[in-house]
Amino acid sequence: MESAATPLEQVHAEIAKACKASRRDPADIALIAVSKTQGPDAIEPLLAQGNRLFGENRVQEAQGKWPALIERYPDTQLHLIGQLQSNKAEEAVALFDCIHSLDRPSLLTALAKAMDKAGRRVPCFVQVNIGEEDQKGGCLPKDLPAFVRQVRDADIPLAGLMCIPPAEIEPAPFFAFLAKLAADNGVSGLSMGMSGDYPAAVMLGATHVRVGTALFGSRE
């Protein structure tokens, strides 16, 4: 008897399809399961199916639920995908394996200090405010070259660029723009694509897709 594919299998199949269309290797795309607002009962099945990469958007929430899960699945990688306040930099450096929301000089200073203190370098993506929206975090495209230089000077491992395109409009041009900014600045990683648009992001060069709803169902 054939059993229906799990959401995790379906998302991997979509990634494989997008890779085939764009002649990419699925091994080059990291699927980050975005588990924000989800409790251990929802997260466990994904761990049991072998997924070991998760994304959270709040330091405090992650501190509450992940240590117990990581104890049982020690090879789990945890990425911070949400905005980070400078006063939480030390806690973020202690818990996360990668930070996707480095977007301003004050946070850069706080993270560099926290990494020095912890004796641990945590790779960071520079978040770009790709649609230049007032309400969104992220470095403006015009400020990116100078900011990337500052990140490199601070000896913070630069994982790549990250973006969240404006809602309700076609995201592909924004993904293509982020890919161009990465190439212009000699950066290789691209964190882009969420449940509604990750196949397009993969076709335009994403190395990390951040998928929540398609794996867990809708959040409360």
212 binds ligand PLP (CB under 6 A): yes
Cβ count near 33 (within 10 Å) = 23
| 19/194 with CB nearer ligand PLP | 194
Residue closest to 27 by CA, chosen among 207, 204, 212, 182: 207
Which residues, 6+ apart, have CB-to-CB distance to 97 below 8 Å? 77, 78, 79, 122, 123
Q: CA-CA distances (angstroms) from residue 161 to 37, 77, 192? A: 25, 19, 8
What would the x/- binding string for ligand PLP be over residues 82 to 101, using CB under 6 A? x-------------------
What would the x/- binding string for ligand PLP be over residues 171 to 200, using CB under 6 A? -----------------------xxx----
164 binds ligand PLP (CB under 6 A): yes
Query: What is the smallest separation between the CB atom of 62 and ligand PLP, expressed in angstroms?
Result: 13
Query: What is the smallest separation between the CB atom of 7 and ligand PLP, expressed in angstroms?
Result: 11
Query: What is the smallest separation between the CB atom of 89 and ligand PLP, expressed in angstroms?
Result: 18
- Interface residues toward ligand PLP, by CB under 6 A: 34, 36, 57, 81-82, 164, 194-196, 210-214
